[in-house]
Amino acid sequence: MPPDIDSVRLHFDQTTLTLLNVILGFVMYGVALDIRVDDFRRVLRDPRPVVIGFVSQFILLPALSCALLLLFAPHPALALGVLLVACCPGGNISNFITQLARGNAALSVTLTACATLTATALLPLNFALWTTVWARFAAGSGKPPIAVPELRVLDMTFVAFTLLALPLFAGMFTARRWPGTARALRNILRGLSLMFLGLFIAGALYANWAHFVNYISQIVGLVFLHNAAALCAGYFAAKLGGQPEANRRAILFETGIQNSGLALVLIFDFFDGRGGLALVAAWWGVWHIISGLSLAAWFYFRDRGQAGVRRFTSDSQD
């Protein structure tokens, strides 16, 4: 019988964690090469879609995550992993996937920029709030009290600033000061950094495969439901907000593609690599790519099919 998941510690050393920090920094730097100051000005010109995206990502998603945990009552360690992922900003491939899905790529970039800066301070505060809400409601339902770990909010803010804001500013400065260099680096850095991040997460799962297999029945279904809730939350929040289809897709992917790599860093820095949290974040890093690309392909081919029907109807009328 496998040990309790809360006693599991994944196999990472300090060198591996340093490597993960470096990879995340380069991923964020590569994303920031596409971000301009005008992306922030766009919020002032047309704030509504950005506000809807912000509410969907930082308020609706954590609230839905809390409700999902209260409904299915997974192991507390898994629940903490779900809440931490939900409180992270959007993942770094959301812009690329939005473009593939023929969504509003400019809005996606603007949401990424705003969410990245906001998450520096909001992530630890949001996580502290929703873990407390979840623990109190869970205790009120008659279950044993849940011990929420002490959160070092200021330390988490510093780590988030280092991994998110500093690479963001560096990438924007490079794009403004040396636009030719930024154009040359953009595709190279984005492709390489995302490849290395994917390999790192895959390697992490491989190195801890026995743990993953032991708890796969608890993790896979939970992450699937959580990711599906995130994608639906983004799309329907935008739809209820009266946004056009292209904006709905951008907000969908900004809400449903989460920065699980950042979650892994925080788990090893502040939660001693607790297995439940880390396995949720690692599997999220694999699954949201699969679900995001699959959904983007569905949008793409559905649009092509609808365009073909419109052309056929128009030709027939002629």
State residue 310's pLDDT score: 55
Exposure letters 252-265 (e unless 16+ CB within 10 A, then b):
bbbbbbbbbbbbbb
In whole angstroms, give the CA distance from residue 245 to residue 236.
11
Cβ(28)–Cβ(85) under 8 Å? no
State residue 316's pLDDT score: 44
CATH class of 11-317: mainly alpha
**Alpha-carbon distances, residue 49 vs 38, 98, 257, 276 (angstroms):** 16, 15, 17, 35
Name the nearest CA neighbour of 90 among 239, 225, 235, 263. Answer: 263
What's the whole-model pTM score? 0.83
In whole angstroms, give the CA distance from residue 271 to residue 248.
35
State residue 100's pLDDT score: 83
Report pLDDT digits (tens) over 261-311: 888 888 888 887 777 788 888 889 888 988 998 999 999 888 887 765 455
List of the chain residues with pLDDT < 50: 309, 312-316, 318
Give the contacts of 141 (CB within 8 A, at least 6 positions apart).
Answer: 70
Place of tokens 């959007």: 90
